[in-house]
Amino acid sequence: MTAPSTAPVPFRVGHGFDIHRFSDDADRRLVLGGVEFEGEPGLVGHSDADAIAHAVIDALLAAAGLGDIGQQFPDTDPSYAGADSIELLRRATAMVADAGWRVGNVDCSVICERPKIAPKRELIHERLSAAVGAPVTVSGRRAEGLGAIGRIEGVACFAVAIVIASEHR
């Protein structure tokens, strides 16, 4: 068996995932991809529970070898209570840059029966792309009535990111 190469690689790929259940708190806002969905129940979470932004953060941190969202922004830290996940995404992107990487792009699949993602997709793309400084795309998927997501108990999101080695790396 040969040892893994220690040669620098020009790019890396990271995968992220997040899931949150819907809240019974009528005052909880639903925020996905930095966009509020008025009239929809919010998600349970320590921060604003933005499952899309959280999956993107996880994908970026994984690609750069920086751990995961729980390590960098733990839900046991009171300073993150109610945090704006787009701001956390900006911070994660800066950490990726500090580690010698730039974001190539990120793609997300959001799985939910509600809300409908399509009417706000372009605004979500704009908010996430602005925070990351690179293209971020999002597509909505339905669970077709299967499992907890199909029973409209919450929202899940998968994200994949590519980061490219910076010249100064």
Residue 1 confidence (pLDDT): 63
Domain boundaries, the chain: 11-165
- Where residue 73 falls among pLDDT bands split at 50, 70, 90? very high
Cα–Cα distance, 76 to 106 (Å, whole number): 27
Tell me how far apart the alpha carbons of residues 131 and 91 are, in angstroms, rounded to a whole number.
Answer: 9
pLDDT in tens, 21-44: 999 999 999 999 999 999 999 999
Q: Which CATH code fits 11-165?
A: 3.30.1330.50
Q: 108-149 pLDDT, tens per residue?
A: 999 999 999 999 999 999 999 999 999 999 999 999 999 999
